[in-house]
Amino acid sequence: FQAIDEFHLAMIEQPLQHDDLTDHAKLQELIQTPVCLDESITHPYRVQQALELKSARYVNVKPGRVGGLTNAVKIHDLCHQAGIPCWVGGMLESATGASHCTALAMLDNFTYPADIFPSEKYYHQDLAEVPLSLSDIDGGIPGVKAFKELPDPDMNRLETLTIQKKIIST
């Protein structure tokens, strides 16, 4: 692994098994290239363990994998307090989910560019009225257009695509 340092990479993402924080810590101690944990990050408690072991110098946060926005913000805050920068990774969300990822990526400790996919490329019918698309921004560099507000879900489409639902009342 030490040969990877010759390439001066920004980071190496999840180089070992997702459940092995100890060997990630040993590897991070051995190489200069920052280790980024991705699949290991499933809950704020796992992040706390990784921080205590010094398993990484970057953390990839995917709201869909960590239990939603509340846990994603907790992970951001834990990493921020420890001086470990984060970045948002996408999981091929609909425009609604991707807009949540975009909003999350605007928090202070998300310092590496987000990996958010344009939903128009992956969904024949997006769940939102307007799909997330790539556009030219600032000097012609393609990027995901930021939303002024979250896109509204297309309620008819959502109803059509819903397989099962349960209404909980008090």
Hey, where are the domains in the chain? Answer: 2-119
Identify the helix (H) or strand (E) that includes residue 141: strand 141-144
Q: Which residues of the chain have pLDDT under 50?
A: none
pTM (2 decimals)? 0.85
Q: What is the identity of the amino acid at 40?
A: S
The enclosing H or E element of 25 equals: helix 21-30
d(CA 5, CA 26): 15
- Fold classification of 2-119 is TIM Barrel (3.20.20)
- Alpha carbon 2 to its chain's center: 27
Other C-beta atoms closer than 10 Å to the C-beta of 77 total 16
Q: Which residue has the tokens 């060997």?
A: 23
pLDDT computed for residue 117 by the predictor: 78
Q: What is the pLDDT of residue 126?
A: 84
